[in-house]
Chain A
Amino acid sequence: MKITLDILQVLMLILGAPLVHGIIARLKARLQRRRGASIWRPYAELFKLLRKEELVPPTSSAVFRLAPIVLFGATVCAAAFVPVVHASALLGSRGDFFLFVYMLVLGRFFLSLGALDGGSAFGGMGASREALVSSLAEAPFLLGLVAIAVLATRADIAGMVAWTLEQNIFNISAVHILALTSLAMVILAETGRMPVDNPTTHLELTMIHEGMVLEYSGRSLALVEWASAIKLHTMFALLIALFFPWGMAFSVSGWGVVVALLLYCAKTAVLMILLSVIESAVAKLRMYLVPDFLGVASALSALAVIFTMWVKR
Chain B
Amino acid sequence: MGLVGIATEKILSSFSVFLFLTILLLAVARRISSSVLLFGLQSAIIAAEVLATAFQEKLPEIYIVGALVFVIKVVAIPRAFFLLTKRLKTVRDVKASTTPTQSVFIVAAIIYLSYAAVHSYGGAVHVPDDPLAAAISLILTGAFLMVSRKKALMQMLGLLVLENGIFLAALITTFGMPLVIEIGIFFDILMGLLLMGIFTFRISDTFEHLDVSKLRRLRG
Contacts and interface: CB of A to CB of B under 8 A. Distances in A.
A303 B14 contact: no
Contacts of B16: 174
B129 interface: yes
A170 interface: yes
The interface centre, meaning the residue of B18, B104, B130 with most chain A CB atoms within 10 A of its CB, is B104
Interface secondary structure of B, over-half rule: helix
Contacts of B129: 310
Given A170-B10, A174-B20, A299-B105, A306 B100 contact: no
A177 interface: yes
A232 to B, nearest CB: 25
Nearest to A303: B108
Contacts of A170: 10
B14 A172 contact: yes
B21 A302 contact: no
Contacts of B115: 310
A296 B100 CA distance: 7
A97 B24 CA distance: 27
Contacts of A300: 24, 104, 108
A177 B17 contact: yes
Contacts of B105: 295, 299
Interface in A287-306: 291-292, 295-296, 299-300, 302-303, 306
A295 B10 contact: no
B47 interface: no
Contacts of B18: 177
B108 A181 contact: no
B65 to A, nearest CB: 25
Nearest to A176: B17
A173 B14 CA distance: 7
Contacts of B20: 174, 178
Interface string B122-160: 000000011000000000000000000000000000000
Interface residues of A, number: 18
Given A177-B21, A310-B129, A303 B111 contact: yes
B69 interface: no
Contacts of B107: 299
B104 A299 contact: yes
Nearest to A181: B21
A292 B112 contact: no
Given A291-B101, A292-B101, A299 B108 contact: yes
Nearest to B101: A295
Interface secondary structure of A, over-half rule: helix
Nearest to B133: A310
B99 interface: yes
Contacts of B104: 295-296, 299-300
A300 B111 CA distance: 11
Nearest to A175: B17
A296 B17 contact: no
Contacts of A171: 14
B108 A302 contact: yes
Contacts of A299: 24, 101, 104-105, 107-108
A174 B101 contact: no
A177 B18 CA distance: 9
B200 to A, nearest CB: 29
Contacts of A291: 101
Interface in B47-103: 99-101
Interface string A158-199: 000000000000111110011001000000000000000000
A306 B115 CA distance: 10
A299 B101 CA distance: 8
A299 B145 CA distance: 18
A47 to B, nearest CB: 44
Given A174-B17, A300-B24, A303-B112, 9 more contacts: A171-B14, A174-B16, A174-B20, A292-B101, A295-B101, A296-B24, A300-B104, A300-B108, A303-B24
Interface of B: 10, 14, 16-18, 20-21, 24, 28, 99-101, 104-105, 107-108, 111-112, 115, 119, 129-130
28 contacts: A172-B10, A172-B14, A172-B17, A173-B17, A174-B16, A177-B17, A177-B21, A178-B20, A178-B21, A292-B100, A295-B99, A295-B100, A295-B101, A295-B104, A296-B28, A296-B101, A299-B24, A299-B101, A299-B104, A299-B105, A299-B107, A299-B108, A300-B104, A300-B108, A303-B112, A306-B108, A310-B115, A310-B119
